[in-house]
Structure 1
């Protein structure tokens, strides 16, 4: 069976997934690599649009009149005794908070906007936040007038930055997926019952293909609706349990008659 045919059938055909116990481990590794990529695509696309929009929002907000401040050794310094807060209907809130008086929860109460805090710049909107340290911006020492220039430079660096962020996040996801499959295969040893012919290597392959539907659904839905990882764990266990039951129980050998 060709790779794409097997991948497609692993979405719904339990018998085919049970058959994968006989597949070489290299095919299972390739399957997991492609599976993680497909599940990761919505996140990287959504993150790219979000980060780009947030940088544009930051740029628009910083172009407004800011109170005097300086950044020395990647830290924000100002004579403000209270956080500076300004609102624009188009871009949201701009908050200068050099003493970190606002927690992330309190920032989210403003809805959407940008906060310049002691060690980082935070863009927040709709319950989500993007944290950008002054170190990442290359801000060692500058004033408020120079910050806009650095933000513009970072926006120009996005075509390089986003693939790098995506690659490292993908590698992290891939490692987590392999770990999850290994643990699921261990659990499979308990689920096999009387199917003693199923060894760990068989269950590892079956676990890898059993994750196809749960991982893709979780990866694509979670971008729009926050989901608990426990749902993915339960769905994966349920899928593997159903697949294991498709493996026939070996018939007991008949004892040879004694002469």
Structure 2
């Protein structure tokens, strides 16, 4: 049975998946790698799009929206006499060479980037990262320098992104194998409760296919940028329910008269 057929049947048929307990372990491991790759495709798409957009908007912000400035000796220097706040699509830019605003003021803007008097601030999903200008040591940075830096980033972005996602893919795959291994142990308990004969290795094969439905569902939600409350609970519940129904389809061992 080819991998596409197994994939489709793993979306709706516990009875068919029950037959996969005799599948070769190599084919099962390959299937897991394919499923994990499919699961990160929306992330690859959204991250690549966001990175390209961020570079374009960053170029516009530093060259057109912000006044001329220089970062030197640990300070942001500009002729601008008052703070500037620029709302963008998904982020707010805060520019303050006066020292009137603090990191907390930037954090209150939600997802934001702040060029403050003495530090650079990034706020993403409530997490705050600050970078003091003193880290630049004796370097002098201007708008034009940042523009050149952004242009250089564009040149390496399409090399860096595949490398980043290769490591991300390996990380997600490792988590997938751990989850399947846990499910295989739970599957052994299901088999004992249902009076079915199932080894751990067979349970691992069934678990690898039982996560398909939940994985594809959350992949589609990621593609649509739609959050799912209690996502991890739903993921585990659906996968374990599918595994339970699959094990129930295994014939009971014959009892000698």
The equivalent of 1:219 in structure 2 is 219
Matches within 5 A, 1:1-259: 1-63=1-63, 64-66=65-67, 68-70=69-71, 77-78=75-76, 84-87=83-86, 93-96=92-95, 101-102=103-104, 106-108=108-110, 114-116=113-115, 122=122, 141-145=139-143, 146-192=145-191, 193-223=193-223, 224-227=225-228, 228-254=231-257
Deviations 1:99-128 (A, max 9, x none): 8613775232xxx7643467756486xx79
Decide whether the 8 Å contact of 1:21 with 1:203 is kept in 2: yes
Decide whether the 8 Å contact of 1:57 with 1:91 is kept in 2: no
When residues 153 and 207 of structure 1 are mapped into structure 2, their CA distance, relative to the original with a 3 A threshold, is: same
Decide whether the 8 Å contact of 1:58 with 1:114 is kept in 2: no
Decide whether the 8 Å contact of 1:195 with 1:247 is kept in 2: no
Displacement of 1:65 after TM fit? Answer: 3.2
Displacement of 1:182 after TM fit? Answer: 0.5
Hey, which of these two has a bigger chunk of helix by percent?
Answer: 2
When residues 229 and 69 of structure 1 are mapped into structure 2, their CA distance, relative to the original with a 3 A threshold, is: farther
The two structures have a TM-score, normalised by structure 2, of 0.80
Deviations 1:169-218 (A, max 9, x none): 11111111011100111111111124352011010000000011111111
For residues 50 and 130 of structure 2, the distance between their equivalents in structure 1, rounded to whole angstroms, comes to 13
The two structures have a TM-score, normalised by structure 1, of 0.79
Decide whether the 8 Å contact of 1:83 with 1:101 is kept in 2: no
Find the residue that maps to 1:95 and give its secondary structure: strand
For residues 89 and 157 of structure 2, the distance between their equivalents in structure 1, rounded to whole angstroms, comes to 23
5+ residue gaps, structure 1, are: 255-259
For residues 6 and 215 of structure 1, the distance between their equivalents in structure 2, rounded to whole angstroms, comes to 15
When residues 143 and 178 of structure 1 are mapped into structure 2, their CA distance, relative to the original with a 3 A threshold, is: same
Find the residue that maps to 2:103 and give its secondary structure: coil
Aligned Cα RMSD in Å? 3.5
